[in-house]
Amino acid sequence: MKAIVVGSGAGGATAARELQGRGLDVTLLEAGSPFKPFTRRIGWATGASKMGLLGSERTITRFFPPMRTVRASDELVLVRGVTTGGTTPITCGNLARADKGLREIGLDLTPEFEELEREVGVASVPRDRWRPVSSAMFEAAGDMGLDPAPTSKAVDMDRCVSCGLCELGCATRAKWDTRTFLEDLTAKGGRVMTDAPVRRVIVEGGRAVGVEVARGRSAERFDADVVVLAAGGLGNPPILRASGLEVRDSLWVDIVMTVAGTSKGSRMLEEQPMVWSTDRGKFMLSPYFDLLALFFHKPWRGRPVRDHVGLMVKVADSSEGTVEADGTVRKTLTEEDVRRLDEGRDLAIKVLEGAGVEGPYVDGLLNGGHLGGTVPLSREDVDGMRPGNLPEGLWVADLSLAPRSQGLPTVLTAAALGLRVARRMIDGASPGD
């Protein structure tokens, strides 16, 4: 049986590797190019930012092509990775069993969480490798009864050099990403094709029979018995719309706003981002430098890197957003989103004050990088792990399936969904398929 998997992020790479290992002939199509970490020093960028020479956040793709940004509204920027590994090479390497909205519809991913954690390895950054300001914020949060804890990570601390640039790619490969799974896939006989953006799913007789890949102005057809879409919450909708298939206007993004203050000689870039965190249900707090805002957010221009301190507020936002056929995204903040951000900001400022971080406290760039909810599962879909509106032979295996925002790291969730979908595909296949 031939399978095409579209996308090489946490969901797609996990599903592809599992399908190949279970006897399918898998071709994985990745729209981006092979990943290369950003290895230049960032000092030049901070100077250029201070003078306003970097322009808007769109500029980042010019010097770091794997990272793509899109404006969802005047107030909100969305970020994703388009490269081998999808977004995983440009994450902070965090692991969380994020399953909001999934348990409520009867989907328990505990077996997949446990299996993936065993394979990837779960660690945390030792306290002696935290910067003093992060330790001070941790203690302040503890004194406030916020129950902070070291963040679970997929990082080999023996290889980590504490450069603080996890989101620009790990030059030492200390941080796990799904390129490891892609290597397993090819070792088992599967194929990975880069620079292969899928335009649409080919549906004949009510069944998915392949995909069409853009080749300049022309297109190339790839036939398959099954097609798995894992191009993410922003990547899947244009493909589905071009195929004449339904997409829900229920995009969620896990909105992030970093509250910045100043502490002389804090040097936050000399530790991994998000060394500790506290989950408050509607939002989480975690130490976070936020390079994107430092480079491109006007209110942050001129902040000395060595003295900059950031505390992230990551909000579980409303599932209200649209991705059009041309990739245009429309998403604004709801009243509830604003309330959660305000509550998180107020708490973050108290933590900063308790840690001795000086003001004025300046809000960072509103952005979102956990993109899901556009092909959500319902309770009726859970047993088959396939939304009922899809044609036969077509599956989705990423965060698009999750009906609700998490407000937490989501790499483990996307991988767990990909693993569950792949196994359901195998278990549900009949000998004639």
| Per-block mean pLDDT, blocks of 10 residues, the chain (433 long) | 98 99 98 91 55 65 91 96 98 98 98 98 97 99 99 97 94 97 98 98 98 94 98 98 97 98 96 98 97 84 89 98 98 98 99 98 96 98 97 99 98 99 85 38
pLDDT attached to residue 44: 47
What DSSP line would sit under 173-212, residue for residue? --B--THHHHHHHHHTT-EEESS--EEEEEEETTEEEEEE
- For residues 226 and 103, what is the distance between their CA atoms, to the nearest angstrom? 27
- Element containing residue 67 per DSSP (H, E): strand 67-73
Are the beta carbons of 233 and 372 closer than 8 angstroms? Answer: yes
> Where do the domains of the chain lie, and which CATH numbers do they carry?
2-33+176-249+373-428 (3.50.50.60), 43-81+124-171+255-368 (3.30.410)
pLDDT attached to residue 51: 47
Look at residues 391, 220, 409, 384 and name the one whose alpha carbon lies nearest to residue 401.
384
pLDDT attached to residue 303: 82
